[in-house]
Structure 1
Amino acid sequence: MPALPPDPPIIVVTGQGLPAPVAQDAFGSVTIARDRLTGSASNRIEDVLSDAAGFQQFRRTDSRAANPTSQGATLRALGGNAASRVLVTLDGVPQDDPFAGYIPYSALKPETLGAARVTRGGGAGAFGAGALAGTIELFSRAPSPRTEASLAGGSRASVQGDALIGRRLGDGFVTIAGGFDRGDGYVIIPPDQRGPADVAARYRSWTGQMRAVVPVGNGELQPALRLFEDRRLRGLRGTDSSSKGADASLRFVGHGAWRVEALGYVQARRFTSGFVAIDAARAIVTPTLDQFNTPALGIGGKVEVRPPLPDNIVLRVGADARRQSGRTNERFRYVAGAPTALRRAGGVNAVAGLFAEGSAEFGALTLTGGARADHWRIADGTLDETLIGSGTPIQSARYPSRDGTCVSARAGGLWRASEIVRLRVAAYTGFRLPTLNELYRPFRVGADATAANAALGLERLQGAEGGLEIGHGATLSLTGFVNRLDGAIGNVTLGMGPGTFPQVGFVAAGGSFRQRLNLDAIDVTGAEAEARVPLGAFTLRGSLALADARVRTSGIAAGLNGLRPAQSPKLQATGSVDWTRDGWRLGATLRHSAGQYEDDQNVRRLPSATTMDAVVALPVGHGLQLTLRGENLFDARVVSGISSSGVQDLGTPRTLWVGLRFGGDGG
């Protein structure tokens, strides 16, 4: 009888990168699972990330009504302006805008994600140059044949729709997904302060993506393409903004004896925004600036290698690089409703680094340590202003290029004292380059004007923490930390209107003139607690963050010494309960944020805010599920900003949704 041919090898693709070493737990990472990512009342990723203690955006407004450039991400109250101090990645690719540094939250659809991992503290691994306050890693869903779709309608003519199709591609998979989101929006000014010119903050966005996973030898190739567009009106005619993006990436993950991860990507982005002034009666708006085109390009990649070593040892060595370029084009100095001047400003930021990090397990003890060396360059900075009619120069600046080398490191230890008790300690350093937006682009918010600063230096972080985790199924983690952010970039008040100031021109009475400056430091001392308790069909979750952040400064900004950074709450808390059984789900989430200050001088105080969301899902047969969702059920007033004249800016009011979700298998 002839011998039968051997069975073909079983090829299993994961669609993921190399797994995080066990030593990652020494840095207090928290993972948000898929069921939580897709189970929020708003169906927006920025809301779910608030489950992680200490996460915040610059303002309390989500990606339906905020100006996109205000949507940076930070952790542990290391804020003070809108730039991201957290590195946010999707399948390893950084997500911050190459020019302004904001996160395009509306393009990050929870339905396409499998998990999110939040790690607080400075980073020394791949792309560590951006991980000043920590990292938020988003992971796409594991590849599989499936078809899913959802459609929901909500308050104020809101509509959300998403669809995802997964199919086999030989021994691999291809996934195509898309979504749209629109609504008439709400009036962001309170009824007792609004005027005839205030209109609803309508929004409209869409996103489409294609991702494939293809086996190649002992590894897999993961190409991806993502397109998105987001349009918003910021509550006054003339304040339209648009964000467009086309991102492409290619990742190879090798699972052989020498494990390898190689990634390359390109990000093409374009942003526009309009700005207006409004009279005291809020009846007449006057255009002040038209940011009609801000193209930006990000190009980068990394290579990481893990050599074959004993099972208790992991070594990661590699290199990464990123180049960001962009230029804003703006019409300004309006006379009789028409612009009379044109501004062009921008430049190039680049950073390239080498990194190495190792970890070893010795029974109950795990030790880890790593370092990276980065060469950075700030180059080609320009600011040109000309009169539109004649082309006569108003000002023309060419800023000298700068470069340098920065070394950062981190180390940690994890001791499993028993089956249910784990202790950890960690220390770290990190750094961040100022964004092109901070370096070169002046801006206005209402009557306030802020000048750029091409001489800004790097932000550098030093920190240490210790933590305790108790439990196995039910868990409680407690962390205490101290951070010092040297050279923190803040918007510092230097004068009051009426008057004419450098870069920004005339500032009206009641308005503030600010400039981006490096403060001596921001010191933060704090504590975090997170808990998860499964009780049969119930799951209880909670998080608490306490952060005492203080500005340390001298010289021209000496008046800020001892104050709290702008938009940095002292306390944040989240609690949720979920019940699931036989396709049914009931969930509620309570969020609280303590009072915080709008401005660097701690004059405009935003009151505390507490909101409650709820979700109900029930099966109706044939793979369909009926969903009922409620945001801010008790319609709490969430003040996200206060202008120099005392006018408030509000976050999302009560919003109710009803929808259908379909989930099935494909071929």
Structure 2
Amino acid sequence: MRRAQTMPCPRPHRGSRWPNFRPFLRIGIRSMSNSSHCLATGLLAGVMVSAAAVAADDTAVLPEVVVSATRTEKTVDEAPGFNAVVGRGELEQRSLESLDEAVNEVPGVYVRRGKGLMDTLSSISMHGIPDGSRSLVLLDGAVLNDAYTGAVAYGGLPAEFLTRVEVAEGPASALYGGNAMGGVTQFVTRLPDKTEFQAKLGFGDAFKDGEALANMRRLVLTGGTRLDNGLRLFAGLSGQSSDGFPTDMVTSTTAPAAGLSGYQTITDTKGSLRYLYGDKGDNGWSDRNALVKAEMPLADGTRLRASWLGTRYRYDYDDAHAYASNALGDAVYYPSEASYAGGQGGHERNLWQAGLERPLAGGVVNVGLTYNDIGKSWYVTPGSTSATTLDGGPGTYSGTASHYVSADLQWTRDAGLAHTVTVGTTLRRDQADNEEYLLADWTDEDARGAIKYRAGGVSRNAALFVQDEWRLAPDLTAYLGVRGDWWRISDGYAEQFTAPAFSERYASRSASAVSPKASLVWKARPDLVVKLSAGKAFRPPTAYDLYRTWKSSSGTTFAGNPELEPERLTSWDLGAETSPWRGGLVRLDYFENYMSDLIYSTGSCSGSGCIRPKENVGKAFGRGVIVAVEQQFGAALHLFANATFNDAEITENSANPALEGKDLQHLPKTMLNLGVSGRHGAWDYYLARRYASKRYGTDDNSDVVSGVPGAFDAYAVVDARVGYRLTKNARVALSIDNLLDREYYASYRAPGRSWLVELGLEW
């Protein structure tokens, strides 16, 4: 970790580098690269000025509304459990590369993103429940968790398409079914109330070549209107790309050959000797996104809505870098060229939604139809033999097509006698198919030859749910809900066409889950709300868990298991929210999680001939505390600080008792966030510090070494943004990520300090 140095703040000057049309945006930036604290100091000084200016501001701040917690509109203090809303104003004040980053400062939430924009394995987990497939993610009510692994491909979908983000923490299967063990995150897209057009153009770069996102380019166009007949329309287009930076290191246990120099002697995450010989090159990225959304009100109170979201992204690697050289000074790709081949991949998604809301039988009925089609999610793995070189040679193409279609019906009515009842049903069908092909040339994903492997299956789910909002007293409300899910798994298959060949067809099977939840919300005083909740949740095994069998580069075979049962959770939490002074908010939450039937790849062997099947063998217990403090000065200045403490460990593992007492993977014990955002005149600014303690990437917690490839290091990063409104219709902003240039690994090498300048136009 690099320690920040205190230096006098230099005056801005023009930089001397002018390649790739960059330098006209580097004015004043190179000087800041040597004294990052200057920007932080300036921003904090601005905070003091703004605080003084707005301390007496009586501007009212509208209450934040959340739908995810109850499927009905509630303010954050009325909704049960721990909830948060990231509003449009806050989204505009931050520089966000993808959707998941919108919630990385919400207390209780951990955003796993290893190498910045290029990370295809990013995830959101919350409330002490690790792994993104155990938390439900929605976009306007449509599930984004895919039908293959339960993960979410966030891609580069821009925050400019959003009006707010809702976070409802704690088990939510009573309303949403599977995947909602840790809670629900919902991204809500925009529908304007007047005619508006916006354009945003951005360009950025790393402060130091090879250490952060290089040659970053962004373009976002949005427009919308509301016609006289009430029809609301919104359309958005976005694209961004970056040349990236080296994220994948080339390490080996092979000792250097005689005469080699320039390599580094390191260890792996378990402390065993390794050598660092180079990297696979700059990990580039590009994506394109489009959103079209419409809503039409009718005379009888009916509203019709429809939308389409299209997402495309691709990543690849530029020329590899060999650190080692021979006696003549020539670079040497050691121990083999194949070790430096990076591969490429991509993702294509079309999300279609249609809905209807109308009065019915004294209540309101909502009908939603969704078709989420991931036509292609693919990646190329170069071969590992001497036949594979940086110019080509054999490799493997893996592509997965998955989709789901769902229908959701919900009816809500104020039933009188202090009851509001919500009942509904959900029908859903998922299908996923994975195929692997041999490639004659790994640099060309279309050069597919014979099929190597395929697997997939179909699942069908039917659910009924009911919730009663029971106002026991003017200051006491109970939420009582239960949902039953019944699903059938069918058409499962797995076939391997290369030695050792096999072909399996799996029998259909059925399973079910009942998920109750009860909550109390007590408004003890006008400035104090106490909340108590308890419930059950589950995560059904995915097609990947059930059927996918694959072999690692070491020769270990990881096998699916078509007999897996759902993972299950029982959880309770107790929290309080108080406003002890004007503009202040203090929130405290304590929770306990009891997990069972955890799905593990059993066995501890590795290497050629080792087989590690998935089994339901685990139990875990976790508890945590969330503390959050906020201070709002009118509508102009917001200060926040929050801390999350998790203590979660495996309590039972029949396949490997040695794991008992070990921490759950990918769950920080401590997370801390501290920040400020504000507006003063034509200026707006944002400054935040995020900290996450070390996580384990292995179930036996053996990856204890930090600062090496594969490690999940503790990190503390500072992000900053300052904007200025040039005219009524134009504004410019400068963002700096990882302001203090902290170096760390999140399995991959994490991005260093980078800057982004954006010009926004609106009319």
**Aligned-residue offset at 1:42:** 3.3
Match of 2:496 in 1: 385
Shift of 1:627: 0.8
CA spacing shift, 1:279–1:661, aligned 2, 3 Å: farther
Distance 2:620 2:393 in 1: 36
CA distance in 2, matches of 1:332, 1:560: 37
The amino acid of 1:658's aligned partner reads V
**What do the CA deviations read for 1:447-490 (whole angstroms, capped 9, x no partner)?**
47633332221011100010011117311110000001111223
The residue number in structure 1 matching 2:245 is 186
Partner of 2:371: 266
Is it true that 1:131 corresponds to 2:180 in the alignment?
A: yes
Paired position in structure 1 for 2:144 = 95
1:125-524 correspondence runs (5 A):
125-144=174-193, 145-155=195-205, 156-169=214-227, 170-189=229-248, 195-196=277-278, 198-216=280-298, 217-233=300-316, 237-255=341-359, 257-269=362-374, 270-276=376-382, 290-310=396-416, 312-331=418-437, 342-361=452-471, 362-387=473-498, 394-443=501-550, 447=554, 450-471=558-579, 473-497=583-607, 499-502=608-611, 514-524=612-622
Aligned partner letter, 1:56: Y
State the identity as a percent: 20
> Which runs of no fewer than 5 residues in structure 2 stay unpaired?
1-64, 206-213, 250-262, 265-274, 319-339, 705-711
Summarize the Cα distance change of 1:585–1:334 in structure 2 as closer, same or farther, 3 Å threshold.
same
Which residue is equivalent to 2:118?
Answer: 65
Structure 1 SS opposite 2:90: helix
**Aligned-pair CA distance for 1:201:** 0.9
Give the distance between the partners of 1:446 and 1:543, measured in 2 at CA.
Answer: 42
Would you say the 8 A contact 2:133–2:149 is kept in 1? no
Residue correspondence of structure 1 range 597-612 to structure 2 within 5 A: 597-605=696-704, 606-612=712-718
- In structure 2, C-alpha distance between the alignment counterparts of 1:314 and 1:660, rounded to whole Å: 47
Higher alpha-carbon Rg: 2
Greater CA drift, 529-538 or 354-363: 529-538
Deviation at residue 432 of structure 1 after TM alignment: 1.1
Q: 2:111–2:123: 8 Å Cα contact kept in structure 1?
A: yes
Whether the aligned pair in 1 keeps the contact of 2:247 and 2:279 (CA below 8 Å) is no
Separation in 1, partners of 2:734, 2:657: 52
Shift of 1:622: 4.6
- CA pair 320-314 structure 1, distance change in 2 beyond 3 A: same
Task: Tell me which residue corresponds to 2:45.
Answer: none
RMSD of aligned residue pairs (Cα, Å) = 2.9
Shift of 1:446: 5.8
Per-residue deviation at 1:97? 1.7
Q: Please report how far the alpha carbon of residue 656 of structure 1 lies from its aligned counterpart in structure 2 after TM superposition.
A: 0.6
2:550, 2:115 → 1: CA distance?
19
| Aligned residues of 1:151 and 1:161 also touching (Cα < 8 A) | yes
Alpha-carbon distance in structure 2 between the residues aligned to 1:260 and 1:567: 40
Question: Does 24-33 or 411-420 show the bigger shift?
Answer: 24-33
Partner residue, 1:106: 155
Q: C-alpha displacement at 1:312, in angstroms?
A: 4.4
2:176 maps to amino acid = F
Equivalent residue, structure 1, for 2:334: none
Shift of 1:340: 6.9
Q: For residues 83-137 of structure 1, what are the alpha-carbon distances to aligned partners after superposition, in whole Å with 9 as ceiling and x for unaligned?
A: 5111111111101122222212125321111111111111145432231211111
Residue of structure 1 equivalent to 2:73: 20
Q: Contact 1:123–1:409 at 8 Å: present in 2 too?
A: no
SS across alignment from 2:244: coil
- Map of 2:682 onto structure 1: 583
Tell me which amino acid in the other structure corresponds to 2:161: T
Give the aligned partner of residue 738 of structure 2: 632
CA distance in 2, matches of 1:330, 1:336: 13
Answer whether contact 2:619 2:653 (CA < 8 A) is retained.
no
What secondary structure does 2:410 align onto?
Answer: strand
SS at structure 2 position matched to 1:636: coil
Match of 1:506 in 2: none
Q: Residue 185 of structure 1: SS of its match in structure 2?
A: coil
Displacement after TM superposition at 1:258 (Å): 1.6
Whether the aligned pair in 2 keeps the contact of 1:277 and 1:286 (CA below 8 Å) is: no
- Change in Cα spacing, 1:194 to 1:625, as seen in structure 2 (3 Å) is farther
| 8 Å Cα contact 2:558/2:613 also seen in 1 | yes
Match of 2:90 in 1: 36
| Residues paired across the two proteins, number | 621
Letter in 1 for 2:481: G
Question: Deviation at 1:250?
Answer: 0.3
Report how far residue 412 of structure 1 moved: 0.6
What do residues 494-535 of structure 1 show as CA deviations (whole Å, max 9, x unaligned)? 3122x2234xxxxxxxxxxx4433232121111112222113
CA contact (8 A) 2:191 2:224 kept: no
The AA in structure 1 aligned to 2:124 is: A
User: Using the alignment, how far apart are the partners of 1:432 and 1:30 within structure 2?
Assistant: 23
Deviations 1:376-399 (A, max 9, x none): 122211001114xxxx98100112
State the distance in 1 between where 2:96 and 2:137 align: 20
| Aligned partner (choices 740, 748, 754) of residue 655 of structure 1 | 754
- What's 2:133 paired with? 84
8 Å CA contact retained: 1:86, 1:135:
yes
Q: Which amino acid aligns with 1:356?
A: V
